[in-house]
Structure 1
Amino acid sequence: MSEQTESAAPGSGGRPGEAPGAAGEPGESGEAGGPGGRARRTRPGPLWFAVLGGVIAWSLHVVFAWSLVELTCVEGGGLIGGTPVVVFVAVATGLPALVAVAALVADLLLWRRDPPEPPGRKSDRVRFMLQIGFWLDVFSVLMILMGGLAVVMLPSCVQT
């Protein structure tokens, strides 16, 4: 093999072993995901949001929505500062539901990327995380919606 195939050509700006032109400006054929280009790296921020965003949103929903119900029991009645508790519950359900749906969409977008990583252990790990994240996000969206329905439909301050 020649010296040029083993290392980057002088002045090409590429790394050793990289095809000439693969380290070009965005929009060129060597761009990640472009024709003849390298596979794109999955950034950790969107990946972790896709995996944990729904679960964190569900946790916040549980804390805030059910706290509102308990607050109405302490004050007595269905009002918080003159506003019906249903309004606060809708906000405490709607915002976390939007975050959980956004995490689900981010997961699906990362999953559909073709290919998400170069083949290997990291690619397998990313795929596994996205599969787990998908089901966690679906579960979180359902639990947030069911929790919101329970807060609205079940009578508050019932003592047994």
Structure 2
Amino acid sequence: MAHEITRDETRGSGLLWFGLLGAPIAWATQVFVAPDLNEVLCAGGADGSGRGQVYGISTKTFILFMDAALLLIGLLALLATIRCYRKLRRSTDTTEGHRATWMAGAALFVNGLFIMAIAVGFIPLLFLSACGDSI
């Protein structure tokens, strides 16, 4: 028995996956890229290429904008999840084992958790200098 996948089902599934994985991937990017980027750009050998800068923008400002973009991705994932969750509440979930409803509910929790984690990632930028000398 062959199942036809409609365009709406495919789009809905894509939104659900983005809603479930968008914020965690954004947080992982923040955690793994920002410290290494700061380390490379502030290294002693980077003096000739503009130590502490990315295309003329200070490292701190660049990382701030990067973190803001990652927070925006997390918020967009949350909005996609809310949209899917509301749509599923209004209709009958025809996925096997109510997979879509479970994914939307889990994504609401996951997004809240990782959006808070991304927001907390802004705190060091307020108190630490990007290329300051360590003690």
**TM-score of the superposed pair, with normalisation by structure 1:** 0.62
Separation (CA, whole Å) in 2 of partners of 1:100 and 1:116: 27
Of residues 69, 85, 91 in structure 1, which corresponds to 2:38? 69
Q: Which runs of 5+ in 2 are unaligned?
A: 1-7
Q: Using the TM superposition, give the Cα deviation of residue 159 of structure 1 relative to its aligned residue in structure 2, in angstroms.
A: 4.0
C-alpha displacement of 1:89: 1.2
Paired residue for 2:68, among 69, 94, 109? 94
The counterpart of 2:15, out of the listed 46, 50, 56, is 46
Structure 1 unmatched ranges of 5 or more = 1-39
Q: Does structure 2 retain, via aligned residues, the 8 Å contact 1:54–1:140? A: yes
Following the alignment from structure 1 to structure 2, what is the Cα–Cα distance between the partners of residues 90 and 146?
12
- Per-residue CA distance 1:3-37 (angstroms, 9 max, x = gap): xxxxxxxxxxxxxxxxxxxxxxxxxxxxxxxxxxx
Q: Counterpart in 1 of 2:5?
A: none
Post-superposition Cα deviations, 1:72-117, rounded to whole Å, max 9, x if no partner, equal 44158x8315432221012210111111100000001111111152
**Corresponding residue to 2:100 among 126, 131, 134:** 126
Root-mean-square deviation (CA, aligned residues, Å) is 2.7
Q: What secondary structure, in the 3-state scheme, does the structure 2 residue paired with 1:117 have?
A: coil
Larger relative contact order (Cα-Cα within 8 Å, sequence gap ≥ 6): 2
1:80 corresponds to which of 50, 53, 69: 53
Secondary structure in 2 matching 1:134: helix
Alignment partners' CA distance in 1, 2:82 and 2:100:
13
CA–CA distance in structure 1, aligned partners of residues 32 and 126 of structure 2: 15
In the other structure, the counterpart of 1:112 is 86
- Normalized per residue, which structure has more helix? 2
Q: Distance in 1 between matches of 2:129 and 2:85?
A: 42
Taking only the aligned residue pairs, the percentage that are identical comes to 23
Aligned partner of 1:32 in structure 2 is none
- 2:77 aligned residue: 103
What TM-score does the superposition give when structure 2 sets the normalisation length?
0.72
The structure whose Rg is larger is 1
Distance 1:155 1:62 in 2: 17
